[in-house]
Structure 1
Amino acid sequence: MAIPDQRCLNAITGHSSALHREARDWLLRLTSGRATPADAQAFRHWCGQSAAHARAFAETRLLWDNLGTAARALSQREQIKTDELQRDPRRMSRRAFLGGAVAASAAFLLLRPPMRLWPGVGDMMADFRTATGEQRQVQVAPGVVVEMNTQTAINVKYAGGRPVGIELLTGEIQLQTLDGASEPFTVYASKGQVMALSGSQCNVRCLDSDVEVTGLNGTVRLEYQGRTESIGTAQRALYGQRGMAAPAPADIDTAMAWRRRVLVFDNQPLSSVVVEINRYRPGKIILTNDALGARKVHARFTLNQLADAATLIHDAFGAHVTTLPGGIVLLS
């Protein structure tokens, strides 16, 4: 996600220390869309210099954790004038930080970047990963092909010197195994296992520790918390924080749509649609109206259309669109 310019951050946060100015500079650089691996390495060095460095960045980061609240204030007032912020620069700061205490460390920031502003350390060190909007294909073992969707990171797991599975750290994949394999190929995701038998194909999605597995061909076996389920073609099962759900019918066309660079939404709330769209595009779309977020969506978007997603939502629902610097879009 990108963020507003330096002047906006100065006004909103109200901090003027050298460390906070450096923290704002880092946030701007890392979310500019032009950040490089060298920038990420330099940031890790800067953030790890002291607890004060980490705390300064955490306070700037926390502003964006509370951006939804701030966005509602922006939407209600239409526009916050610069002179108003200058008269009381702490006003937004108090509102954004109300009820919270800033406690963060460099390790936390690197492991769990806010709103995926940059890849976490785990993602950056993964054997294979994709950036926002990127898709790629990798052959992780003889006869095993993995298609990786946007914002996905995987590690290859070995036994006896040969690849026997992958760890899906985050994101979405489609796994295909060719006929003739003597043993299943295993996807480890969120403390569970997805075992693809010979000649099978499945879609595995792991976001926020919840896993959704869709059988596309053949048989796939799931193991989670001592429970085992088998799913076949056009079936899906979910497991995660609420345990494991029983297999249910699945729409293969919807599950495979992203491979065709298409997103399909069938009677889903707009709030869920926006979350999914944000995975594929730079910047961030933020809903500031709960009633609008509850509106149902039945639509099919190509990934090429997502840059104009806010306009499409405006045309479909009459939503008011406020565009901010850095790719931030408020919908009300």
Structure 2
Amino acid sequence: MPITDHMGHRRAALHKEAQHWLLRLTSGAATVQDARAFEHWCGQSAAHAEAFAETRRLWENLGPAAHAWMASERVRAAAVADRVAGPRMTRRAFLGAAVTASAALVVVHPPLQLWPSLSDMVADYRTATGEQREVDLGRSVVVQMNTQTTINLRKANRQITGIELLGGEIQVKTTAAAADPLSVFAGGGRIDIGAMGKCNVRCNGSDVQVTSLDGATTLRYQGQTAVLKTAERAEFGDGRVGRVMPADLEVTMGWRRRVLIFDGQPLVDVVREINRYRPGKIILANDELGARTVQARFSLNQLADVAALIHDAYGAKVTALPGGIVILS
């Protein structure tokens, strides 16, 4: 085989392996062993590292293109449905060829959150990684959105009747009395905020954390009810509502001041939280290190240096890889 052909085959093989690693690391089921194996793979040569970087860039460019394709397909499918009566279009027919199906997949499940998912793209409001924003909904309702947060508005007769928190974290404030409490829907439950009230709601899948910052807040979840007073918090999910507990408002309000406060949490939880605010991903490849408790404050403006700070505090080995991935071991 000519040298050029051999090099071409080798390059193609490396890119296929890089795609495999990107999918595994962003599957949500990656293990410590996966992280160590990826570190070993990426360190074999500069060609390995470059293949991963190129794969990441390819997926990053593919996301917006795939979203545009899906939007055009929805329009085309709707037009066909209007003209032709019969069985609904199958998923295979809708997605088309395998290549375009793959494009759709990376929109629905974007690796490393390099771009918004499909549900994020069509939401009423969303924030990107590291972004925070304020939304004035009118009717004396103001919503502060934290990083990686997506919300939809529920309306009736063109009036806002509630806020649907699909994921992320919000602080909601009602600045005037209203005939009915404002409702936030998250994780299959409902949070009713009283007049002149203020609360913080965080939704991670089916797990929801609610903190009353001012006034009374009522949680309703699967037939269970809990009432929170100022500086009280509770969680719900998996069919149960946790007990009402005192809340540390300094910690809860920290993100509004662009500060993350950790008080005795394991490092693995700290890293998981930090990953919400910075591009790329920090991976812990040391279980003993991950179990270490952390007492720290991090400014959101210094998260680019957080791996070095963890190295200084705990002696962790820091390995920086392409695509914004950092391995702590």
The normalised TM-score by structure 2 is 0.74
Q: Name the Cα RMSD after superposition.
A: 2.7
CA distance in 2, matches of 1:274, 1:214: 22
The match for 1:258 is 255
The match for 1:189 is 186
The Cα shift of 1:253 comes to: 0.8
1:227 to 214, 224, 228: 224
CA distance in 1, matches of 2:160, 2:47: 61
Instruction: Kindly indicate whether residue 250 of structure 2 is the aligned counterpart of residue 288 of structure 1.
Output: no
The SS at the match of 2:35 is helix
The SS at the match of 2:278 is coil
The match for 1:322 is 319
Where do residues 52-91 of structure 1 align in structure 2 (5 Å cutoff)?
Answer: 61-62=23-24, 64-65=26-27, 66=30, 68-74=32-38, 79-81=43-45
1:190/1:78 CA distance change after superposition, 3 Å:
closer
CA distance in 1, matches of 2:17, 2:287: 29
1:64/1:191 CA distance change after superposition, 3 Å:
closer
One-letter amino acid of the structure 1 residue matched with residue 178 of structure 2:
A
Instruction: Kindly indicate whether residue 161 of structure 2 is the aligned counterpart of residue 164 of structure 1.
Output: yes
One-letter amino acid of the structure 2 residue matched with residue 204 of structure 1:
V
Identical columns (%):
52
1:259/1:9 CA distance change after superposition, 3 Å:
farther
CA distance in 2, matches of 1:243, 1:213: 14
The Cα shift of 1:73 comes to: 2.5
One-letter amino acid of the structure 2 residue matched with residue 177 of structure 1:
T
CA distance in 2, matches of 1:157, 1:64: 32
User: Is the radius of gyration larger for structure 1 or structure 2?
Assistant: 2
The match for 1:93 is none
1:300/1:9 CA distance change after superposition, 3 Å:
farther
2:129 to 123, 128, 132: 132
CA distance in 2, matches of 1:199, 1:179: 5
1:64/1:154 CA distance change after superposition, 3 Å:
closer
The match for 2:151 is 154
One-letter amino acid of the structure 2 residue matched with residue 170 of structure 1:
G
Ranked by relative contact order (alpha carbons within 8 Å, sequence separation 6 or more), the top structure is: 1
1:216/1:10 CA distance change after superposition, 3 Å:
farther
Cα deviations by residue, 1:301-327 (Å, 9 ceiling, x for unpaired): 110010101001001100000011121
One-letter amino acid of the structure 2 residue matched with residue 257 of structure 1:
G
1:322/1:9 CA distance change after superposition, 3 Å:
farther
1:63/1:207 CA distance change after superposition, 3 Å:
closer
The SS at the match of 1:110 is helix
One-letter amino acid of the structure 2 residue matched with residue 331 of structure 1:
L
1:108/1:229 CA distance change after superposition, 3 Å:
farther
CA distance in 2, matches of 1:210, 1:311: 31
Structure 1: gaps (5+ residues): 1-6, 16-23, 25-57, 86-103
The Cα shift of 1:158 comes to: 0.8
One-letter amino acid of the structure 2 residue matched with residue 305 of structure 1:
Q
CA distance in 2, matches of 1:130, 1:186: 21
The SS at the match of 2:255 is helix
The match for 2:14 is 11
The SS at the match of 2:155 is strand
The Cα shift of 1:154 comes to: 0.6
CA distance in 2, matches of 1:84, 1:129: 35
The normalised TM-score by structure 1 is 0.74
The SS at the match of 2:129 is coil
Structure 2: gaps (5+ residues): 1-9, 50-100
The Cα shift of 1:263 comes to: 0.3
One-letter amino acid of the structure 2 residue matched with residue 197 of structure 1:
G
CA distance in 2, matches of 1:233, 1:195: 14
The Cα shift of 1:282 comes to: 0.7
Instruction: Kindly indicate whether residue 303 of structure 2 is the aligned counterpart of residue 306 of structure 1.
Output: yes
Task: Name the count of aligned residue pairs.
Answer: 267
1:313/1:228 CA distance change after superposition, 3 Å:
same
The match for 1:274 is 271
CA distance in 2, matches of 1:216, 1:9: 55
The Cα shift of 1:229 comes to: 0.8
CA distance in 1, matches of 2:38, 2:213: 45
1:317/1:182 CA distance change after superposition, 3 Å:
same
The SS at the match of 1:195 is strand
Instruction: Kindly indicate whether residue 215 of structure 2 is the aligned counterpart of residue 218 of structure 1.
Output: yes
The Cα shift of 1:105 comes to: 6.8
Cα deviations by residue, 1:28-53 (Å, 9 ceiling, x for unpaired): xxxxxxxxxxxxxxxxxxxxxxxxxx
